[in-house]
Amino acid sequence: MTIIVANWKMYQPYERAIAFVRDHRGQLEQLIKAPNELIIAPSFVCLDAIRQLLKESPIKICAQDCAPFASGAYTGEVDAASLAQLNCTYAIIGHSERRELCGETDEDVATKVNLLLKNNITPIMCIGETLEDYEEGRTLEVLGFQIDHAIDILKQAQKPYCIAYEPIWAIGTGKVPSKEDLENTFEWIFEYMSDPNATLLYGGSVTEKNATQILKTPHVNGLLIGGASCDFQTLKKIVSLA
Ligand code: PGA
C-alpha cells in the first residue's frame, strides 16, 4: 500500500483549497488504486467544507496539527475529538515547521500521539534532522531521540500510525537525500520500530521527477508532499505513479 499525503501547509487559502477539491476530486479519485490512499491536509478552517465535498470519496482528510490537551481553556487550540468529528482520519504532528516556529517539543508530540490514537485518528509523526546534524553524521541519533519519546505510546496502542522522515534540510529546498542515505535511514527506522502497525513515509522536496525513485526505497510506504501537492497536475502525476 502506498500513501500520498498532500500537506497544504498555509499555501492554499480557504476558497482556493475548496475549489481545488471540488474541481479535481473526480480525477484524483479515479487514479487511486486501492489499497493506496490519497490524503489531503488542508488548514483547520477548510476541514468542514472539505469533509462535505469528500463525503462519499476514497480521498481521506488529515489535520495539520492538534492540541496537546484534551479540552479546556486553551485559546486558539483545536482538540483531537473535534478533528475526529470532522472525519480527519489522519493528523500530522511534530512537523519541523511547528517544532521550529511554535516550539513544539518531543513531549508535546508524544502527548498529541496519545490523544490522536485515543480518538482513532492515525498520527503522522514527523521526524528529521537539521543540516548540521546531517553533516556531522548524527542523523540516526537525532531520529532515535525523537522517536523514543513516543515509541511506547505508539506501540502499546496497537493501532496504525505513520512515521514521516523529513530531513529539515530537504523541506522546501529542492534537495533530497542520496539513494544510499535514504536506504540506510529507512532500514534503520524500520528496524528500530519493528512494528507492523508502522507505515513509513518520506517527505522533503518530493516532486513528480523524484517520486518514483524515492518510492522504490525499501520500507518507504508513501510520501508527505508540501509545495508540489498544491499544483493539481503535479499531484495527479504523483498519485498516478504511486
Ligand atoms: P515540501 O514540504 O514538499 O514543500 O518540501 C514537505 C513537508 O514539509 O511536509
pLDDT in tens, 119-161: 999 999 999 999 999 999 999 999 999 999 999 999 999 999 9
Regarding the beta carbon of 208 and ligand 1, being less than 6 Å apart is answered no
The atom of ligand 1 lying closest to the CA of 96 is: 8
pLDDT, tens digit, 9 for 90 and up, residues 110-130: 999 999 999 999 999 999 999
Can you tell me the mean pLDDT for 192-221?
Answer: 98
Task: Output DSSP code: residue 46.
Answer: G
Check residue 225 and give its pLDDT.
Answer: 98
Q: Among residues 231, 225, 184, which one has the least CA distance to residue 202?
A: 225
Check residue 235 and give its pLDDT.
Answer: 97
Q: Which residues pair with 39 in a beta bridge?
A: 5, 60
Can you tell me the mean pLDDT for 49-59?
Answer: 97
Regarding the beta carbon of 220 and ligand 1, being less than 6 Å apart is answered no
Query: What cell was used for 167?
Result: 530531513
Q: Which member of 37, 95, 104, 219 is catalytic?
A: 95
Can you tell me the mean pLDDT for 44-68?
Answer: 98
Q: Among residues 240, 231, 242, which one has the least CA distance to residue 6?
A: 231
| Residue whose CA lies nearest to ligand 1 atom number 6 | 226
Check residue 181 and give its pLDDT.
Answer: 98
Can you tell me the mean pLDDT for 20-28?
Answer: 98
Check residue 110 and give its pLDDT.
Answer: 98
The atom of ligand 1 lying closest to the CA of 206 is: 3
| Residue whose CA lies nearest to ligand 1 atom number 2 | 226
What is the C-alpha to C-alpha distance for residues 72 and 91, in angstroms, rounded to an integer? 20
Query: What cell was used for 24?
Result: 479535481
What is the C-alpha to C-alpha distance for residues 133 and 148, in angstroms, rounded to an integer? 18
What is the C-alpha to C-alpha distance for residues 240 and 235, in angstroms, rounded to an integer? 8
Q: Which member of 104, 129, 166, 208 is catalytic?
A: 166
What is the C-alpha to C-alpha distance for residues 133 and 226, in angstroms, rounded to an integer? 22
Check residue 184 and give its pLDDT.
Answer: 98
- Can 166 be counted among the known catalytic residues? yes
Can you tell me the mean pLDDT for 196-223?
Answer: 98
Confidence band (pLDDT; 50, 70, 90) for 15? very high
What is the C-alpha to C-alpha distance for residues 1 and 108, in angstroms, rounded to an integer? 29
pLDDT, tens digit, 9 for 90 and up, residues 229-240: 999 999 999 999
Check residue 58 and give its pLDDT.
Answer: 97
CA dihedral 69→74→75→81, nearest 10 degrees, is 30
* Identity of the amino acid at 38: L
H helix intervals, 13-172: 14-31, 47-53, 80-85, 96-102, 106-118, 131-135, 139-157
What is the C-alpha to C-alpha distance for residues 104 and 92, in angstroms, rounded to an integer? 13
Query: What cell was used for 146?
Result: 525523537
Regarding the beta carbon of 204 and ligand 1, being less than 6 Å apart is answered yes
In percent, how much of the chain has pLDDT > 70?
100
| Residue whose CA lies nearest to ligand 1 atom number 7 | 226
| Residue whose CA lies nearest to ligand 1 atom number 9 | 226
- Can 97 be counted among the known catalytic residues? no
Q: Among residues 45, 53, 107, which one has the least CA distance to residue 82?
A: 45
Regarding the beta carbon of 224 and ligand 1, being less than 6 Å apart is answered yes
Regarding the beta carbon of 225 and ligand 1, being less than 6 Å apart is answered yes
Can you tell me the mean pLDDT for 25-51?
Answer: 97
Check residue 156 and give its pLDDT.
Answer: 96
Confidence band (pLDDT; 50, 70, 90) for 75? very high
Regarding the beta carbon of 123 and ligand 1, being less than 6 Å apart is answered no
| Residue whose CA lies nearest to ligand 1 atom number 1 | 226
